[in-house]
Amino acid sequence: MAAESTKVLYGLYNDEEDLKGAVKAANAAHLDIMDVFTPFPVHGLDPILGLKESRLHYLGFIYGATGASFGFLAMSWIFTRDWPILFGGKPYWSVPAFIPITFEMTVLFAAWGMTLTFYTICGMWPGVKAKTLDDRITDDKFCIAFNVSEASDAQVSDLRGFFSKTHAAEVNVKTI
């Protein structure tokens, strides 16, 4: 991937309630927020940011169903086709005995599938350098970021006005 740099104007708030108020104000002013960064999941932020519910759990279901079918079908094939063995006169296709492993495979596939998907869609892997705007965002600052790569000076000063109106504790520019 080519190293694209984005010029970002961002404001830091001291409290999540200030942040939520600012996001609402930005919505009212039709400002296009690039992203919001917080030290912990702030509840009630997603709807005002217009974030749709994550679809990760649908994928979880699909992965789980895959695991269940894989486990069950593999055992069925092995014990009826590939190498049938008679255990104490019980049927080759002993379905109740397959339940525990089928269940474990469901959980295993769902958990690994979802976790790997999570890291992939978030672009997170070992060795990825975090594009952090400010080190205090993982501590106690709540950040609203605007992409100002192509913004005119007038637009930038509008955004600065927005930050001062919404009581941002600090406003900075950084290229990431």
Which of 3, 40, 153, 154 contacts other proteins by CB under 8 A?
40
DSSP symbols for 55-90? -HHHHHHHHHHHHHHHHHHHHHHIIIII----STT-
Which uninterrupted H or E stretch holds 36? Answer: strand 35-37
Does position 47 interact with other proteins (CB under 8 A)? The reply is no
Q: Which of 29, 101, 149, 165 binds other proteins (CB under 8 A)?
A: 101
Residues 134-163 interacting with other proteins (rule: CB under 8 A): 135-140
Helix 153-165 with 16-28: angle, nearest 10 deg = 130
- 73 binds other proteins per the rule CB under 8 A: no
Selected binder of other proteins within 25, 49, 156, 171 (CB under 8 A): 49
Q: How many CB atoms lie within 10 A of CB 74?
A: 15
Instruction: Tell me the window of 1-9, 44-52, 146-154, 156-164 that interacts with other proteins (CB under 8 A).
Output: 44-52
**Distance between CA atoms of 71 and 102, rounded to whole angstroms?**
5
Longest dimension (CA), the chain: 84
Separation between Cα atoms, residue 45 and residue 151, nearest integer Å: 26
Q: How many residues does the chain have?
A: 176
Among 24, 78, 164, 173, binds other proteins (CB under 8 A): 78
The residues, ordered by sequence, that sit 6+ positions from 35 with a Cβ below 8 Å of its Cβ are 145
Does position 15 bind other proteins by CB under 8 A?
A: yes
Rounded least distance, CB 29 to other proteins, Å: 19
**Which residues sit at the interface with other proteins, rule CB under 8 A?**
14-15, 17-18, 21, 35-43, 45-46, 49, 51, 53-54, 56-57, 60, 64, 74-75, 78-79, 82-83, 85, 87, 90, 94, 97-98, 100-101, 103-108, 110-112, 114-115, 118-119, 121-132, 135-140, 167
